[in-house]
Amino acid sequence: MSELKNDRYLRALLRQPVDVTPVWMMRQAGRYLPEYRATRAEAGDFMSLCKNPELACEVTLQPLRRFPLDAAILFSDILTIPDAMGLGLYFETGEGPRFQTLADNKATIENLPIPDPEQELGYVMDAVRTIRRELKGEVPLIGFSGSPWTLATYMVEGGSSKDFAKIKKMAFAEPATLHLLLDKLADSVILYLNAQIKAGAQAVQIFDTWGGALSGPAYREFSLRYMHKIVDGLIRDYDGHKVPVVLFTKGGGQWLEDIAATGCDAVGLDWTVDVKAARARVGDKVALQGNMDPSMLYAPVPRIEEEVERILGEFGHGDGHVFNLGHGIHQHADPEHAGAFINAVHELSRKYHK
């Protein structure tokens, strides 16, 4: 990590000493920034932006020009893998992602290919290489993927869902069919994330956005089992450095011990989790990442600072905390408030790292 000018994010994930608590924001490159909206308009649409390595690099770097963030995160989408499997991803204005073909039956699932990350997903690897070059060692680059369960929800439902009725029907009526899909997705994610690491990602995060929609037993069977498989299959040392792995299940606070037992380096917390209790539950097994409610950025700056102080105080002294929002920053958040949040984390955390 010596070639990095700022490695406190990686150090915190590995529970090593830092001078201040590192901070980045989920969706930090996004619609709350006017410069992002301008670049997206230049690209034409969201997927064209994702598939243009130079523009993907530009929007990845935009928040770092504004704020003293401790990490950059690859600009991409979690649904790149299902798209590369040939399901025809497209975006309806105001409706979110949609697929032309659904993976909702055994025959379709059996025929799904496992994408070659340097071929069908080569544009993502080109973006990683471009971003890594342009970062010039300022901060580390985070690569990411959706979890198999979360990817499967979109592939089976055809898009976003409120009740996940179709995939839950598959889970409980035809579990072997769903396991076939999840296994293919886990194999694809392993290849995809390892390719990102070889291209220059210095840490990776798996986003399990919809794991919290499951019961405990179903979560362990259909979500956690496959994230565990991915953790086991990832490159953990590359180019002489450790590559930390973060697992984030939105709504997964009740399963922290199970998530920590996968062998990951850090567990992401959403805003419903008590940080002090979370730290007591997982001990020194993993680092913790989180977890301010993204809506707090609508509050006046003094209230934001008060919330940052509260969360830092809950975690307390010691290492192994990466400050983040409990989910992605809202598109209507004021960039000035985001800046105040980031500065508050650095300033107020100093006393916890002596």
Cβ atoms of 279 and 259 within 8 Å: the answer is no
346 is in an annotated binding site: no
State the Cα–Cα distance between residues 270 and 78, nearest whole angstrom: 18
Q: Kindly name the residue from 31, 225, 236, 281 that is annotated as catalytic.
A: 31
Cβ atoms of 143 and 196 within 8 Å: the answer is yes
Q: Kindly name the residue from 32, 36, 154, 219 that is annotated as catalytic.
A: 154
What secondary structure, in 3-state letters, does 48-89 show? HHHCCHHHHHHHHHHHHHHCCCCCEECCCCCCHHHHHHHHCE
236 tagged catalytic: no
31 is in an annotated binding site: yes
Q: Kindly name the residue from 11, 27, 98, 132 that is annotated as catalytic.
A: 27
- The two tokens of residue 350 are 């100093």
Cβ atoms of 23 and 69 within 8 Å: the answer is yes
183 is in an annotated binding site: no
- The two tokens of residue 94 are 């105001």
CA-atom Rg of the chain in angstroms:
19
Residue length of the chain: 354
State the Cα–Cα distance between residues 309 and 2, nearest whole angstrom: 30
Q: Kindly name the residue from 40, 129, 220, 236 that is annotated as catalytic.
A: 40
179 is in an annotated binding site: no
Q: Kindly name the residue from 11, 15, 36, 77 that is annotated as catalytic.
A: 77
11 tagged catalytic: no
Which of 251, 176, 265, 177 minimizes the C-alpha distance to 210?
251
28 is in an annotated binding site: yes
30 is in an annotated binding site: yes
283 is in an annotated binding site: no
77 is in an annotated binding site: yes
29 is in an annotated binding site: yes
Cβ atoms of 192 and 120 within 8 Å: the answer is no
77 tagged catalytic: yes
> Binding-site residues, please?
27-31, 77, 154, 209, 327
> Binding-site residues for substrate, please?
27-31, 77, 154, 209, 327
Where in the sequence numbering do the catalytic residues fall? Answer: 27, 31, 40, 77, 154
